[in-house]
Amino acid sequence: MTITDIRVRTFWTTTYEELDSDGHAHPGPERQVRKSLLTITCENGTEGHAFGSPEQLRPHLAERFIRKVLIGQDALARERLWQDLAHWQRGSGGQLSDRTLAIVDCALWDLAGKAAGLPVYRLIGAYRDKVPAYGSIMCGDEIEGGLATPEDYGRFAETLVARGYQAIKLHTWMPPVSWSPSIAMDLRACAAVREAVGPHVPLMLDAYHWYSREEAAELGRGLEALNFTWIEEVMDEQSMSSYAWLANELRIPVIGPESMGGKYQHRAEWIRAGACDILRTGVEDVGGITPALKTMHLAESFGMNCEVHGHGAENLVISAVSKNCRWYERGLLHPMLDYDRCPDHLKAIPDPMDAEGFVHLGQTPGIGEEIDFDHIDAHPAD
Ligand SMILES: O=C(O)[C@H](O)[C@@H](O)[C@@H](O)C(=O)NO
Ligand SMILES: [Mg+2]
């Protein structure tokens, strides 16, 4: 199966979210945004697709790297094509990101699933056909009726448990919220959620990402008293030794790294340094399904769980093929947003969740996205 073409289509789609000055998502006015679709085509007409941002698929990257590495190559040689693209990162002057690698890798996996007539999670080797989900709540805000108070978090958590979520993760308040960061408020929100859902629902916290060691330890001890399941990204992840210090200080499991680059190699160093009790990966964070699988296997070799960052078909695949992954992160969730609303560019959401809190893997060949090509072609945004 020889790759004969790659193309990028950029189109308009609707969003109901906006990013704050720190890059965290919150509810926002309905508006149109640009999104891109990479399509890889083989000589027999088989195609693989993956979504990304226009910036991650901009012409310089599509022509200088993606086309150059892929055209004429065996589409099923994913490992070699991923390695070739990853090696180009050094010579790209910082232009070729892990996010772009992830898009290409996901499109190749989608193509392989189409060629085999299998959903990708079964092509890789299923561990399960449904994954328990935790509700990942958006960062706090100052919106009336949103996530402005600890009580708001408590009320929202109750609705999420009633919806079926088997666990809940809080992202609490961060700048630009005027009075944040605040350990006291973080712990008040966590206490309100624990009070609302009772003692047995697993709870996790992902808070302000730049606390000091002492602040992070104080926060962690507060979570221990509330019987939380893990503490996440509460210090700058560039300081691996700070996380080794924190993991040694606390009983509650420390999970990471999420936002750090370095793929599976850097995550191996975190394990070696004792900087995490639970490893973290994500298809976008480490450069694709191919390296995310390596991260999963790395953690498994150390008897560790590895939890997947982010929602979407590709992260659901990773969660479904790994014994040492406990959850699917479904979110980000907010009282004013309908997470189950189907995006304009899809015919169905990729992560439907049943009333018991399980997200079921689709059986359609490919990565698991039902793409609405008519929408994409009818709303060009080049
Ligand atoms: O932008 C971010 O920091 C992430 O999207 C974050 O909000 C959330 O996805 C996360 O940290 N999950 O663990
Ligand atoms: Mg996180």
Question: Cβ(319)–Cβ(131) under 8 Å?
Answer: yes
d(CA 153, CA 108): 40
Half-sphere exposure of 222 (CA within 13 A, CB side): 20
Phi, psi of 89 (to 5 degrees): -60, -45
Residues with Cβ < 8 Å from 280, sequence gap 6 or more?
232, 255, 256, 257, 258, 267, 306, 307, 308, 309
- Ligand 1 centre to CA of 139 (Å) is 9
C-alpha 66 to ligand 2 mean position (Å): 29
Dihedral sign (CA 13, 328, 274, 86): negative
Residue 24 CA: which ligand 1 atom is closest?
1
Average pLDDT rounded to a whole number, residues 194-200: 98
Question: What's the mean pLDDT in 126-136?
Answer: 98
- For the segment 226-232, the average pLDDT, to the nearest whole number, is 98
Average pLDDT over residues 164-180: 97
What average pLDDT does this structure show over 345-349?
98
Give me the mean pLDDT over the 265-294 stretch: 98
CA dist 127 to 110, 119, 130, Å? 19, 13, 9
pLDDT surpasses 90 at 228: yes
- Beta-carbon contacts of 33 under 8 Å, excluding residues fewer than 6 positions away, are 12, 13, 14, 15
- What is the share, in percent, of the chain residues with pLDDT greater than 70? 100
Q: Which of 20, 26, 258 to mutate to test the pocket of ligand 1 (most atoms within 8 A of CB)?
A: 258
Retrieve residue 12's tokens: 């308009």
Which ligand 1 atom lies nearest to the CA of residue 139? Answer: 7
pLDDT tens digits for range 327-340? 999 999 999 999 99
The average confidence (pLDDT) of the chain is 98
Using 50, 70 and 90 to split pLDDT, how confident is the model at 99? very high
Residue pointed to by tokens 């004429």: 72
Q: Whose CA is nearest to atom 1 of ligand 1?
A: 24
Contact 309, 100 (CB under 8 A): no
User: For residue 22, which phi and psi values (nearest 5 degrees)?
Assistant: -100, 0
Q: How close is the Cα of 308 to the center of ligand 2, in Å?
A: 9
Give the per-residue pLDDT at 382. 85
Residues 6+ apart with CB under 8 A from 338: none
Average pLDDT over residues 102-129: 98
Q: How far is the CA of 232 from the centre of ligand 2 (A)?
A: 6
Rg (CA), the chain: 21
**Gap from CA of 90 to ligand 1 centroid (Å):** 26
Contacts of 36 (CB under 8 A, 6+ apart): 8, 9, 10, 11, 51, 52, 53, 54, 56, 57
What ipTM is given for this predicted complex?
0.95
Angle at 87 between CA 285 and CA 299, to 5 degrees: 40
DSSP bridge partners of 10 = 36
Distance 212 CA to ligand 2 centre (A): 17
In the reported structure, the alpha carbon of residue 24 is separated from the centroid of ligand 1 by a whole-number distance in angstroms of 7
Flag whether pLDDT at 93 surpasses 90: yes
Instruction: Give me the DSSP letters along 233-272.
Output: S-S-TT-HHHHHHHHHH-SSPEEE-SS--SHHHHHHHHHH
The Cα angle at residue 231 between residues 277 and 156, in degrees rounded to 5: 140
Which residues have a beta carbon within 5 Å of ligand 2, which is an ion? 206, 233, 258
Mean per-residue pLDDT for 19-35? Answer: 97
Task: Using DSSP bridges, classify how beta strands 167-171 and 278-281 pair: parallel, antiparallel or unpaired.
Answer: unpaired
Question: Which residue's alpha carbon is nearest to atom 7 within ligand 1?
Answer: 24
Percentage of the chain beyond pLDDT 90 is 99
CA-closest candidate to residue 98, choices 52, 130, 142: 52
Cβ < 6 A, ligand 1 pocket: 23-24, 136, 171, 206, 258, 309-310, 332
What is the CA(306)–ligand 1 centre distance, in A? Answer: 16
Tell me how many helices (H) and strands (E) the chain has.
14, 12
| Whole-angstrom distance, CA of residue 146 vs CA of residue 156 | 9
Query: Which ligand 1 atom is the nearest neighbour of the CA of 233?
Result: 11
Q: What is the mean predicted confidence (pLDDT) over 116-128? A: 98
Q: Are 365 and 116 in contact (CB under 8 A)?
A: yes
- According to the model, what pLDDT value does residue 183 have? 98
Relative to the CA of 310, which ligand 1 atom is closest? 9
Q: What residue's CA is closest to ligand 1, atom 11?
A: 206
Percentages (nearest 5) of helix, strand, coil residues in the chain: 35, 25, 40
Test site for ligand 1: of 205, 278, 309, 319, most ligand atoms within 8 A of the Cβ: 309
- Which atom of ligand 1 is nearest to 138's Cα? 7
Q: β-strands 25-42, 3-19: how paired?
A: antiparallel
- Specify the pLDDT at position 12: 98
Q: Which ligand is nearest to the CA of 332?
A: 1
Nearest CA to ligand 1 atom 13: 309
pLDDT of residue 364: 98
